[in-house]
Each structure stands twice: as structure tokens, then as C-alpha cells.
Amino acid sequence: MTTTIAIAPSASFARDVAVYVGRIRQFSRHDWLVYGAWVGLMCGLTAVTTSFLVYGSLHGARFPGDAWLVPVGAAAFTFAIAVDTIGHLTIYKEEIRRAEALVHHVTIAAGVASCVFLCAAYSEPSAFTIPALVATVLSFGYSLVDEAFHWRRYVSASSDRVEMWSHVLILSGHATMMIAWWHWFLLGYPGVGDTLSAWRIA
């Protein structure tokens, strides 16, 4: 039996955001563990990529502008999922559990794999470039499948504009991060070698 959730927007988008974020008070202990693991993972990626670039810059490494867009995109993605996931674990939990949850899991697995393979491709490009490309394409492909689910719910008034705008930022952040990362890789990862050398010396 399908339960329809009627979402009525208020006159103020700020008010809708406050209501959406306020649902975090409904979290169970398990919800907090899931939320912390997912948002924490992306906070870690943002922190690690930022720290790597800052450390390298302070030790003489020169990075292209694209490289700095990696943590910028990661930060935007992290902020968006920190908001979006609140709704996923509360008001939309039962709806998402039907099919979207599996799409989310595949998207996350492919997204994590794409980052790992792109890092590994620095030293072994012949072994990891194609897996990195496949994982990247899969992560974006399943992201679009996920968007189809969200728009279907939004059109039927079973989703709200806060969730939809958070997904705009999710896609924007993800695309910014990965396109910049790929361009940096295709340029030969300038600055990475100098940073790693400085790290070994320190």
C-alpha cells in the first residue's frame, strides 16, 4: 500500500528550509549513525583534498585552478547532502525505502570508487583510468535515475522545494568536483608530485 505525503509549501522558502532542517530532531540513534557516516565521509573528502592542496601550496607546489575546484565542489556537495539527507531519514524514509534507497547505494558506491580509482590512476594510469571513468559515468547515470524518482514525487506533491533545490546543489557540486578532478588528472596531475615529495621530506 502506497502512502502519499502531501507537501504544502509556505509563502517563505526560508520557513520551508527551517521546517525541513528542523526534522533532524526526529532522528533515531540509527538515523544519526547513518547521517554521520554519510555526511562525515564527504566532510572527510572535502578536508583531505583541501589540506592536500594547501600543504602543497605552502611547500612550493603549483596547482592549476581546476585542482582547487575539487574541494569547492566537494564542499557544495557536502552542504547539500547535509540538508537533503534529513528529509530522506524522516518524512521521506518509507517512500525512499521502496526503490530509491538501492539507487542511492549504487550511486554512492560508484562515486566512492571513482574517487579512489582517480587517486590510484596517478601512479598506475594504465590500470585505473578506465575503471575510474566507468565508475564516474555510473555515479552520474544513477544520479539522474535518482532525480527521476525525486521529480516524480515532486510533481505528485509528495516532495518539497527544499529537497529539490538541495538536489540542484548536489548535482552542481558533484559535477564541479568530478569534472575538475578529471581535467586535473588529464593534465598530468600538476603539483601532486611536488606535494608528495615535500611530504616525504617533512
In a domain? residue 5: no
| Rounded to 5°, angle at Cα 119 from 175 and 103 | 45
Query: Residue 95: which domain range?
Result: 29-197
Provide the domain count of the chain: 1
Q: Is position 91 within any domain?
A: yes
Half-sphere exposure of residue 93, counting CA atoms within 13 Å on the CB side? 13
**pTM over 0.85, yes/no:** yes
Helix axes 13-22, 65-88, angle to 10 degrees: 70
Whether the per-residue pLDDT at 41 is higher than 80: the answer is yes
Q: How far is CA 24 from the centre of its chain?
A: 19
The single-letter DSSP state of residue 159 is: S
> For residue 17, is it within any domain?
no
Looking at every residue in the chain, the average pLDDT score rounds to 91
Cell of 124: 598506475
Q: Exposure pattern of 160-169 as b/e (b: 16+ CB <10 Å)?
A: bebbebbbeb
Separation of alpha carbons 202 and 191, rounded Å:
17
What are the tens digits of pLDDT across the range 98-122? Answer: 778 889 999 999 999 999 999 999 9
Residue 41 lies in a domain: yes
Looking at the domain assignment, is residue 202 inside a domain? Answer: no
Give 142-171 pLDDT, tens digit per residue.
999 988 888 887 777 666 788 889 999 999
CA 82 to chain centre: 10
The runs of H, that is alpha helices, within the chain are 13-22, 29-58, 65-88, 93-98, 100-120, 125-155, 161-186, 192-201
